[in-house]
Structure 1
Amino acid sequence: MNNQIYGIRAILEAIAAEQPINKIFLQKGLKGELYLELEAVIRKNGISRSYVPVEKLNRLTRNNHQGAVAQISPVSFHDFENLVEKIIQREEKPFFLLLDQVSDVRNFGAIIRTAECSGVHGIIVPKTGAAPITDDTVKTSAGAVFNIPIAKVEHLKDALFYLQSSGIAVVAATEKADKELYEVDFNRSCAIIMGSEGKGISASVLNLADHQAKLPLLGSIGSLNVSVACGIFLYEVVRQRRI
């Protein structure tokens, strides 16, 4: 799978053509009018970027990269509002999954696979800080990444407000909750938020959720891998809707 574009002009053209770009690596300390134009376009489009030494770019490609290498996503992302409206019109009980800064590509792939199998109608991730869709993501998802809509948003908080205003209850998965997930009514339009591997759901997002729920942990370990925890939450929705 060819998932790289190199060269400043080529990357500018890819952005203009709305190619799904995961991330752009830029050479530290580089100057020049075209380079500054690329920086401005990256900022305007909210594309994730990293400033790296030239050695990093040389490892990414042996071609003449001109100080810039872009990683292309193997799938196209959906417009968030259009996706939500389409699902609301089509489904009696919309079911969404939001991921707050889940950054491991294999965890992301495993979550996508479980979400597709459990009937999630769409996955929503932030444009920055989220795991990219790479070859490893595709492999771990067992190809499910091609079967479920994924939308990127500037801020998850705005996505929460939009979902709530559309009549969709937002449930945050957090060990800080007072009640367990089995006490939450999922037999309705709902969206589940899962947090990052290390920090969980950010406080600003957590406070906006309609409900908070936790998993019962009966052993000595205080948490589960996010993809495992996500699977339990998603299949509790399936269980309740099949009763």
Structure 2
Amino acid sequence: MKNDYQIFGIRAIIEAINAGETVDKVFIQKGLQGDLFKELNSLLKEHQISTAYVPIEKLNRLSKKNHQGVIANISPIAFHDFEALVQEVIEKEETPNFLLLDQLSDVRNFGAIIRTAECTGVHGIIVQKQGSAPITADTVKTSAGAIFNVPICKVDHLKDALYYLQGSGIQVVAATEKTEDTIYDVDFTLPSAIIMGSEGTGISPSILKAVDKKAKLPMYGTIGSLNVSVACGAFLYEVVRQRF
């Protein structure tokens, strides 16, 4: 399944973008030049497509095909409009439960989180366009197909999405160890959105400053943290416990 959602070569990627394909992320060889590359680069900026400049060794690991210095991940899903999704959930008079992922980078963690989100009735997952894990065949496989059942939104800036949720009457709760409050101190019967941080650095400091509440999981072992997908599962099932 490794290459199911990949296309290769500058011209092929340009044509895919112009044809309206949902290009999730583009990996570009460092130092790549030329008129055709300039055309691609302009398109990437115009469509705000996530890009990563990487050594050729990285591209060779991603694919054994003749990639010409550029590999694109094509998303198997269409992304939802963030603001429209929030309003749709509110209008249904359901108690919203959204999930925001701040710079999550591992595609398998992403897939595992999507699977748990689907099982716990999450209304939508919000990620930032730049810096987030792409949707690959591994994401789809790890999600066990749940990716096709949970709305996923891409936004320019996660903080703007946070403010929009707050303005819509939804409390934003950060999953972080930088607090004395645990998940059992938060009232998840209220409209809520939970933010999970990246595997390495957690939630961005600027995001932490803007949230309504912070909560952590009780830890009794010698290891100070859980895998992000496991921690996310614990948070989401606390929401389920309180609401049902």
Give the structure-1-normalised TM-score: 0.92
Letter in 2 for 1:178: E
Letter in 1 for 2:35: E
Shift of 1:55: 5.9
Letter in 1 for 2:119: C
Letter in 1 for 2:65: R
1:182/1:31 Cα in 2 relative to 1: closer, same or farther (>3 Å)? same
Mapped to 1, the partners of 2:222 and 2:58 lie a distance apart of: 41
How do 1:81-100 residues align onto structure 2 when only pairs under 5 Å count? 81-100=83-102
Tell me, yes or no, if structure 1 residue 168 matches structure 2 residue 170: yes
Q: How many residues are aligned here?
A: 241
Mapped to 1, the partners of 2:36 and 2:195 lie a distance apart of: 40
1:188/1:58 Cα in 2 relative to 1: closer, same or farther (>3 Å)? closer
Query: Partner residue of 1:44?
Result: 46
Mapped to 1, the partners of 2:55 and 2:175 lie a distance apart of: 39
Shift of 1:25: 2.3
Between 192-201 and 76-85, report the one with greater CA deviation. 76-85
Letter in 2 for 1:33: D
Letter in 2 for 1:6: F
Query: Partner residue of 1:213?
Result: 215
Shift of 1:54: 5.0
Shift of 1:58: 5.7
SS of equivalent residue, structure 2 residue 239: helix
Shift of 1:85: 1.5
Shift of 1:61: 4.8
Shift of 1:192: 0.4
The answer on whether the counterparts of 2:25 and 2:51 sit within 8 Å (CA) in structure 1 is yes
Identity level (%): 67
Structure 2: 5+ residue stretches without partners: none
1:54/1:220 Cα in 2 relative to 1: closer, same or farther (>3 Å)? closer
How do 1:174-193 residues align onto structure 2 when only pairs under 5 Å count? 174-193=176-195
Deviations 1:143-180 (A, max 9, x none): 11111000111110000011111111100011011211
Query: Partner residue of 2:8?
Result: 6
CA-atom RMSD in angstroms: 1.7
1:55/1:171 Cα in 2 relative to 1: closer, same or farther (>3 Å)? closer
Mapped to 1, the partners of 2:56 and 2:110 lie a distance apart of: 29
Query: Partner residue of 2:243?
Result: 241
Query: Partner residue of 1:62?
Result: 65
SS of equivalent residue, structure 1 residue 207: helix
Shift of 1:128: 1.5
Which of the numbers 125, 148, 151 marks the counterpart of 1:146? 148
Shift of 1:43: 1.9
Query: Partner residue of 1:75?
Result: 77
1:42/1:223 Cα in 2 relative to 1: closer, same or farther (>3 Å)? same
1:131/1:30 Cα in 2 relative to 1: closer, same or farther (>3 Å)? closer
Shift of 1:7: 2.9
